[in-house]
Structure 1
Amino acid sequence: MLRAELVIRFYMLPSIMQMRLQQLEDNVVRVLKLLNEYRVELIDEPDPGTKNKYRRRIEDLRKQRDEYESELIAIQEQLTKEQPKEQISIITSQLQQIDSKLNWLADSQAALHQTIFVHFTTDEKDLVAPIANQLEEAQVVEVESVLEVVESNQVSEEETKLVLTQLQQTLALLKEKGFQLPSGNEAIVEVLNHPTLDAKQALKVSIPIIPFLLSYEGELGLGTGIKIKEIWERWKTKSWNK
């Protein structure tokens, strides 16, 4: 009886693996198709919020792609003889196509962040890059707009100092309450607590972290006196109304 079961399993194994392989190919083709669709949407879609939605979906596809590669390796390990080499080659090629498109999208995102980095010196880029690279597209657009306002001297010295003070207090409060801040915030805290730059420069390097702080403002009731959110909206309006 045991021998008969082993024989059945021996002959069933290639069939089962073939089914898994076909299902895997179907899934890879689906990811490739969706990636093409999302790529087109990113190019044609003018709304930054909608673009962020597609970028999140693309990140999900990246994870699926990695899972499918692991699945392909597992199948190959079990099909040691008479492997369907042509089908495996096709799936491998499709995974490579997905990689190529994901790399293009990553390069596109990096180019987007360059609109922020042009406002900083090399040393300042080192300070802001860890935070700026975590911004979503809509946030990049806002940060770039506010940087233009600050650089064009549309922000008074008094307002600059008030905002810097509140940023310092807000970051300290978030740390005290254990809220998760983006990696790289320590450098901004250092600038605010022990400024080696003038007030305008300190404000500039702090601007990329403000979108993250705004996500906590309502929860913590931040903004006694001067409110970061109100000022942020006013600065954006100044830029967009130029």
Structure 2
Amino acid sequence: MLSPGFHQRLQDLEDHIAQEQELLREFEEVLRYEPNPRIKAGYRRDIERQQESVAGYRQEYNELQHELTGQSSARMQEMGNQLQQMDAKLNILLSSQVAIYENLDQMRQDLLLRYDANEQATIEAVAKQLNQNQLVLTQNLLDALEANQVSEQQMQQMLAVLEERVSALPPSQAAVAEIIKAPELDAKHKLKVTLPLVPFLVDYEGELELGSGFNIKTAWEQLLTKLRRK
């Protein structure tokens, strides 16, 4: 039998995980564009403290999971995935001396961590072909999508244009392109998986601001315009 406070503990844990995810995104954003190694190194203790917090939430998760022995919970599974992804990202940040985005292989791994295990194998073939600017643009677009800065209309427009253009992609990227047609997925999830294809369909180098001044509205409009002209 579940304890009287189980559901409140579950809600509290869910809220704490959401807060930690937002903090981690802030760390990643700063470290992605900070050119000064000393400033980057200064974030190490902050990231270590977050790692300790996440470990505490992992313990709380395990205790709640223990109470659910023999029962299935999609909500718990999602929180477990989120904790695992944060653990992986924090480990990468620390092991690379908080300079993850200076190395292309690390950048590609960071991109893959934004997807669950089943999707990573599909995205990996695409990620291997992205250069530094393409990876930064893709990360910026994903950040905006996950922060709900992209409207439903914009998502549908992008998906419609991508669906028209995916026939031009090489066979190695066909598996990702097929996601657009999946009826069981909503527009946001389809777009999240297919956004890494955008750099292969447009030539944007030098035309979009890729630094901290990235303007999602301007970038989105420019990308759609370029895609439609092809």
Higher helix share: 1
Larger radius of gyration: 1
What range is the shorter-chain TM-score in? 0.3 to 0.5
Q: TM (normalized to structure 1)?
A: 0.41
Q: TM (normalized to structure 2)?
A: 0.43
